[in-house]
Structure 1
């Protein structure tokens, strides 16, 4: 019998994984739970870099210089933060208003990253506790079958492996996910801060022209 087969116990794993999942679902709003699951896609992506967006902003500035800020209204911009900033610039927003908008959107994005990471960190807290629950269930089952030597081994396996599964899930799955989400969130926030100066400069340059046009 291989080591993997010796350490495999479906019931112990079901107690730990099922109990952890139930605990997370009960303590987390459904919308935040969905965000925590969708945040896993971040782990498969490359680290966010602002350079392509900076190039796109520079291109938008050239368009505005040649054709006016209203020409930017026809631009297709995939990034929601840059798109929102360009839309306010088209509407004649000042540099200060663009700064406020970008800061608000950046804080909201950070909050979403933190909320997702906290959910996975919460799962890391629950898993060892569910492992202890599995251990108690296994011990109770063992004491209930003391007259049947053949059943004692299975009950003891549940008791020991549940604790093992809880520790492994917490430290090798849930905590690494939470930490990587926090790192990715901080890196993206830092990179997105680089978008502010060129967008603010574009707004300050185009606003006087927009006011003159309106007058």
Structure 2
């Protein structure tokens, strides 16, 4: 289940607020407005967008907003409930056979779990189940990598375009040294483009890319537990042994919570 990740907007807001606070503290409100320059912003954003359009195919760029949206959501990884699910499936399989899991699996919302259990019910060999599900994990990682790569490239291009804007401003300033009134605006373009480029890279693009990489690692970890659980259910492992095996992935606090959940006998349909 996905829910809104409040830390991402909080981080962005804190970064912007601290920046504004630092400017206003030293330069007042008028000082803040001197840091707003549309020309500098256009150079950075326009350059980054142009670079991305050259670098990536249309099919990848079409998903850029979906990729960004992922940085504002998170998956609830209820590992103790996941272990409870596989213990329940194991008990049912040992009691009534693997075919009985076709009914039981309807209570499970996670499609990856359902796919693995149905492969087990169909009598697919454990090694083949592992290969099929691992291939799906690899494909997922590749999809995530492509989306994340757009943000990483934007983080690389933004400071470079900031420096390009700085060079533009310096050239304009040097060409108009005989016009004192033009020195200020040209110097603003020269400095603010570097500021905008660095800020865009280090407050938005690179942190979001790092968060997406962390989310991918967490999802891979969860799916690896699922593979172990599916193979354990198919092999007819003792539910208690399967619980101990899967609990190796948990911290001591999570293990205690999982044990309490299994003892309470809660339903399947709230798994991670």
TM-score over 0.5 for the pair:
yes
Q: Distance in 1 between matches of 2:192 and 2:110?
A: 46
1:14 maps to what in 2? 42
**TM-score when scaled to structure 1?**
0.80
User: Residues 190 and 72 of structure 1: is their aligned pair in 2 closer, same or farther, counting only changes over 3 Å?
Assistant: same
1:53 maps to what in 2? 82
Q: What does 1:162-177 align with in structure 2 at a 5 Å threshold?
A: 162-177=193-208
1:69 maps to what in 2? 98
Q: Distance in 2 between matches of 1:57 and 1:14?
A: 54
Aligned-residue offset at 1:2? 3.4
SS in 1 for 2:188: helix
SS in 2 for 1:120: helix
Alignment partner of 1:193 is 2:221 = no
1:5 maps to what in 2? 33
Alignment partner of 1:96 is 2:143 = no
User: Residues 192 and 51 of structure 1: is their aligned pair in 2 closer, same or farther, counting only changes over 3 Å?
Assistant: farther
Q: Which moved more, 1:141-150 or 1:97-106?
A: 141-150
1:89-135 deviation digits (Å, cap 9, x = unpaired) = 23221222211122112222222333333322211110111112212
SS in 1 for 2:124: coil
2:60 maps to what in 1? 32
User: Residues 151 and 27 of structure 1: is their aligned pair in 2 closer, same or farther, counting only changes over 3 Å?
Assistant: same
Q: Distance in 2 between matches of 1:94 and 1:78?
A: 24
Alignment partner of 1:128 is 2:159 = yes
| Residues 162 and 195, structure 2, Cα contact 8 Å, conserved in 1 | yes
Q: Which moved more, 1:114-123 or 1:71-80?
A: 71-80
Q: Distance in 2 between matches of 1:32 and 1:80?
A: 25
1:151-174 deviation digits (Å, cap 9, x = unpaired) = 332122111100111111122222
Alignment partner of 1:87 is 2:115 = no
Q: Gaps spanning 5+ residues in structure 1: where?
A: 207-215
User: Residues 176 and 149 of structure 1: is their aligned pair in 2 closer, same or farther, counting only changes over 3 Å?
Assistant: same
Q: Distance in 1 between matches of 2:62 and 2:90?
A: 37
RMSD: 2.7
SS in 1 for 2:109: coil
User: Residues 24 and 50 of structure 1: is their aligned pair in 2 closer, same or farther, counting only changes over 3 Å?
Assistant: farther
Q: How many residues align?
A: 206
Q: Distance in 1 between matches of 2:78 and 2:143?
A: 19
**TM-score when scaled to structure 2?**
0.65
Q: Distance in 2 between matches of 1:97 and 1:54?
A: 22
SS in 2 for 1:15: helix
Aligned-residue offset at 1:4? 2.4
User: Residues 105 and 175 of structure 1: is their aligned pair in 2 closer, same or farther, counting only changes over 3 Å?
Assistant: same
| Residues 90 and 236, structure 2, Cα contact 8 Å, conserved in 1 | no
